[in-house]
A and B are shown apart, each in its own frame.
Chain A
């Protein structure tokens, strides 16, 4: 048993729902107890979808358990087929139905429905949402792809690509897809299909026509992409174009596979390079940033943070163990300890210990950062209603790079603002308890931020030979509030390591020199 306050991923059948809901003409019959229908609200409320997910739940109750839950499943499946007339039906069980072992696959097969029925085996007590989505997409592709497709040689025609991975309830999938289409258009590459998002079973049948596959989200599309690589000899574009550099690499990788000139797409460019080189960004140099999310977004963020913003990555991790190897390798390259866990409490402890100046994480890390009074930007699922903005806000492509610059830098105090705060520290509106203006009035920055740093009831240094002397306390107050806590901790750690009992002004500056990077 695992104690869980918050969970990064839902159960695997929610992953299956994300695939089914993204597609057209697919219906999912889910053997599940009453109550599991809560998952509908993820799509209708968080993502604001205007239709119910195409899912029929059997919603059995305790009184059904003594009777015939198998019959209940068949009735639900038949009614769902008659009402929705889908081109293909997915059948499976949620965690509770898995325990009662009714075998939805066998039951559905016995019904001889006139459309393909694709059984899903998603072990709820071992696996999670992303795995469920990947497995479902893979099962659909295996079942529906026409195997007899023969591609004509690439010479003399425009190259054709599949785009794999975007689903319903995905973190910026809608907007990322717009950017990918833009890049492919600039390269002169045509799109055979996008899947799962917007694809029908009839579309999936033609998946073998493409020359290669673009894998937008490995968490969801990797299993299917590997199958297609084997089945249709379709190479996989593996660079995930998050960040300016990765977008350029992506363009070059696609251009090489397609045999086209990358220049027109590269020329689109982003503002990231100049924004990052402009003088106001100097203060970003070596800001310590802690990164946690799904593996794909976390790894992409680490590269952008180091290479494109000049941050120092002080922590890197992911919650999906399926991609732990890649994250470990990258953490090694960055010289940090990889954090592979889906335990929210472990992540909280790691962030607290790392003392970052910026957290890039999920909505969960946003809560942690809020508690620790650290700035934070959200870079990855699990999604929240805020992750479905009305405006176009991609993570991928050149516009994505612009968005990353803005959304990661805005939570930090602006460079100019930082100087003004120091200059006008004693001004009545800039005094310490006024709190950081960029975090908003409701942040409670005032007292809460000042409290841990406020001087202890001060006796004269003579009576207080241990700890902070009055002069040192006074000096400490001259340090801007947003780094004062760190200065205090660093000084105390230094004093302890040097066996210094009374912290004086000199100790403070010794410590500063000691910790200087």
Chain B
């Protein structure tokens, strides 16, 4: 195990060797995605079928942020369910009845599988069809797994969106040569989504669909005339499911920073035959604003070294953004999972000498952090304070998933997230 292996040479941009070590992985499981997904799809409810640990995780990851009654809950498996004293399916039906009676506003219910439900092989897809038959058409019940044995953190969103794809209606035009439609895939804060929609409208691209939709009752159609842009780098399964429906992925950098946003929008402009001059004219003001916003942070970040612990799969595009637009030096870019095809262009843009690592042995990785003493370490909540106590500045990565960071007008905010810990370190005299 371990050691440097060259990447697959058949895929462009994979020249960098990848370090793979096996040990403790200090990552969230896919259930965590519920924390942002339930805010995004406003008439959906997420019911985890799992253990007290699952409920405790969600509460710990989300608890401090939520004072409203959340649209997620856990059906906690108990001893009697395991001992066969209660029929787990009957129990689940009873829990869903109680839940839907309490929340009549819910139109879509996700049964979310967990480690225990997977291990005991509770068939949630059968449960979902049974419950759809019972509560439909008012409520549609779907299922996906957010278990830690199958998913890491953002892969939970991938699993959720992939479960939505078979439910999407077909586009009107079935033939591939009919008028193309654009789909943005990946949950974005509404404000960012609206910015992108305005760009496409100004370029004359339409109709533009969004997955996930803000309301589950308004699912976007998909078909062979669908061209889709991934807004997030962690949507491998969703992309495959869309491709199975005939949709075509537009390859682009991910829309982080000015360059990423420009390339991402341009991929759509080109696919939809938008005149280059018109495209440039549409994005020019925002691009110029992004340039100005980034310049403010360059002084703090330029020449600083950065180490990414694996977390959200955003690591590779963020390292590309920080190195190319702010002059940072990525030492190691760790990611829980490296999707080579979707990241091909991103990997090409990483500077030489960057160590790529996939998976984790957290103890050995921390040894590398301590040896390298980077100016900034991007890591999860469990590691940040201990590293700070060792005198290493950190940026907690979960904020990168919860904050609006995509697009031209958030490029400065994204840079600020990395600059703030460094500025703070210099400000404090205590």
Chain A residues engaging chain B, CB cutoff 8 angstroms: 1-7, 9-11, 13-14, 33-42, 44-46, 48-52, 56-62, 64-65, 76, 79, 83, 94-96, 99-100, 123-126, 128, 363, 367, 370-371, 384-385
Contacts and interface: CB of A to CB of B under 8 A. Distances in A.
B276 interface: no
Nearest to A84: B363
A3 B73 contact: yes
A1 B92 contact: yes
B137 interface: no
A96 B57 CA distance: 14
A246 B61 CA distance: 37
A14 B55 CA distance: 13
A494 to B, nearest CB: 31
Contacts of A57: 24
A42 B79 CA distance: 26
Contact of B51 (A11, A40, A76): A11
11 contacts: A2-B95, A4-B73, A11-B51, A33-B149, A34-B25, A35-B57, A37-B28, A37-B382, A41-B61, A52-B386, A125-B51
Nearest to B146: A35
Nearest to A1: B91
Interface stretch (B115-123, B242-250, B279-287, B316-324): B115-123
A1 B78 contact: yes
Contact of B148 (A35, A42, A125): A35
Given A3-B73, A384-B63, 8 more contacts: A6-B59, A7-B76, A10-B52, A34-B148, A36-B29, A37-B27, A41-B60, A51-B389
Given A4-B76, A62-B149, A37 B55 contact: no
B422 interface: no
A152 to B, nearest CB: 43
A49 B385 contact: yes
A37 B147 CA distance: 13
B381 A41 contact: yes
A359 to B, nearest CB: 15
- Residue from B73, B381, B385 with most neighbouring chain A CB atoms (10 Å): B385
Contact of B52 (A11, A35, A367): A11
Contacts of B150: 61-62
Instruction: Please report whether the interface of chain B is mostly helix, strand, loop or mixed according to DSSP.
Output: helix
A5 B27 contact: no
A61 B149 contact: yes
Interface in B1-50: 23-32, 49
A235 to B, nearest CB: 35
B400 interface: no
Nearest to B382: A40
Contacts of B149: 33-34, 60-62, 64-65, 96
A44 B56 contact: no
B79 A96 contact: no
A123 B79 contact: yes
B120 to A, nearest CB: 6
A2 B148 contact: no
A3 B98 contact: yes
A7 B27 contact: no
Contacts of B81: 1, 125
B271 interface: no
A120 to B, nearest CB: 15
A370 B67 contact: yes
Contacts of B57: 35-36, 38
A394 B63 CA distance: 24
B241 interface: no
B179 interface: no
Interface residues of B, number: 62
- Residue from A7, A10, A76 with most neighbouring chain B CB atoms (10 Å): A7
A294 B17 CA distance: 53
Contacts of B98: 3
Given A34-B25, A99-B116, A385-B64, A44 B386 contact: yes
A367 B69 CA distance: 9
Contacts, number: 185
Given A5-B69, A44-B384, A33 B147 contact: yes
Contacts of B381: 40-41, 44-45
A83 B74 CA distance: 37
Nearest to B51: A95
B25 A1 contact: no
A363 B60 CA distance: 12
A39 B149 CA distance: 16
Nearest to A57: B24
Contacts of A45: 381-382, 384-385
A445 to B, nearest CB: 15
A507 B102 CA distance: 36
Given A38-B60, A95-B115, A384-B64, A50 B73 contact: no
Contacts of B70: 5
A510 to B, nearest CB: 37
Contacts of A100: 119
- Residue from A6, A56, A96 with most neighbouring chain B CB atoms (10 Å): A96
B119 A99 contact: yes
Contacts of B152: 34-35
Interface in B192-229: none
A516 B81 CA distance: 50
Given A125-B77, A126-B78, A128-B52, A3 B95 contact: yes
B172 interface: no
Contacts of A363: 63
B59 A7 contact: yes
B26 A37 contact: yes
- Residue from B52, B67, B88, B92 with most neighbouring chain A CB atoms (10 Å): B52
B389 A11 contact: no
A1 B74 CA distance: 9
Contacts of A76: 23-24
A100 B70 CA distance: 32
A354 to B, nearest CB: 20
B82 interface: yes
Contact of B383 (A52, A59, A99): A52
Nearest to B82: A125
B380 interface: yes
A44 B388 CA distance: 11
B28 A35 contact: yes
Given A45-B385, A59-B25, A7 B116 contact: no
Interface string B141-172: 00000011110100000000000000000000
A2 B386 contact: no
Nearest to A125: B79
Nearest to A384: B64
A48 B27 contact: no
B403 interface: no
A257 B36 CA distance: 56
Contacts of A50: 385-386, 388-389
B51 A96 contact: yes
- Residue from A5, A38, A52, A65 with most neighbouring chain B CB atoms (10 Å): A38
- Residue from A9, A51, A62, A94 with most neighbouring chain B CB atoms (10 Å): A62
A96 B61 contact: no
A3 B99 CA distance: 8
Contacts of B115: 33, 35, 95-96
A2 B55 CA distance: 11
A13 B280 CA distance: 57
Contacts of A125: 51, 77-79, 81-82
Interface in B78-129: 78-79, 81-82, 86, 88, 91-92, 94-95, 98-99, 115-116, 118-120
A79 B118 CA distance: 29
Contacts of A40: 26, 381-383
